[in-house]
Amino acid sequence: MEMVFLFNPLTEKANNLDHKNLIRDYLKNGKISGLFVPGQLISIVVQSETEPTLEWLGNLGHAETFVIPSESPLTMIRKGRGRIIVDAVTNEHVLDPNGVSISPKLSIIFRTSSSVSEMIVLNGKKILIAERRLKNADEIVLWKSDVKLLSCYHVTFFNEETELEVVDITKVEEREALLTLHRLSARNHQETAEQEVTYFTCPNYYSCPKSMHVAAEKSAILSKFSAATCIDFGRE
């Protein structure tokens, strides 16, 4: 499997972090927490220094969400110490339900059986997540690197039921990263549809391994964003 990781920090200090360890932590803890299904993943875009711990990523699954219409192309501009999302044509600010300009912390882009979805985690004390349903990668928010600190990586990984192993992390130019992002978003939808249902089966609940119980508990997080999850313990 493959995906694109973009690290677009706000300061030079943040850019000195170990990017490869950051990528591994996002992938492994994102899977364990149930935040995303690895087989659907297209890209992760990060501009925050927040450590991607299992607890923090798991909490995102319980965050309040709202939908941003995907009618107009969106981009980002620098404002103060952060960046905000604006309409690429009118330059109008995109607002959250409270009327506040949206300042992204993290963005996860993934495929569904019929579209590309973009999940944007906002900066702020209260965790808010904006979701966009897109027709293709051309509608993804354009993440500008106004301070020239953007680092792009092509990541290949091997995903098993209980473990995700990162095989290779290669730094690439922005153009190559965007081409890969477009290619992955256009991948055959049938392949994605087959991966959308995570199905666990066990003849008896009490004899199931602990990992399966954890998977069942996380199913609510999985289904909230992109995937349907079925758990069948065979109880009569």
Please tell me the chain's helix, strand, coil percentages from 3-state DSSP, rounded to the nearest 5.
30, 35, 35
Distance CA 43, CA 115 (A): 14
Record the tokens describing residue 89, joined without a space. Answer: 């044509």
Query: How many Å separate Cα 162 from the centre of its chain?
Result: 20
Which residue in the block uniquely carries the two structure tokens 């935040």? 35
Which residue in the block uniquely carries the two structure tokens 């965007």? 178
Q: What is the pTM of this model?
A: 0.75
Residue 221 has pLDDT above 60, yes or no: no
Choose from 52-56, 226-230, 232-236 the range with maximum mean pLDDT: 52-56
Beta bridge partners of 84: 77
| Tens digits of residue pLDDT in 201-216 | 444 434 444 444 444 4
Q: Which of 146, 154, 148, 155 is nearest to 179 (CA)?
A: 154
Angstrom distances, CA of residue 139 to CA of 77, 134, 136, 185: 17, 6, 6, 11
Average pLDDT estimate for 73-102: 88
Residue 35 has pLDDT above 60, yes or no: yes
197-201/64-67 β-pairing: unpaired
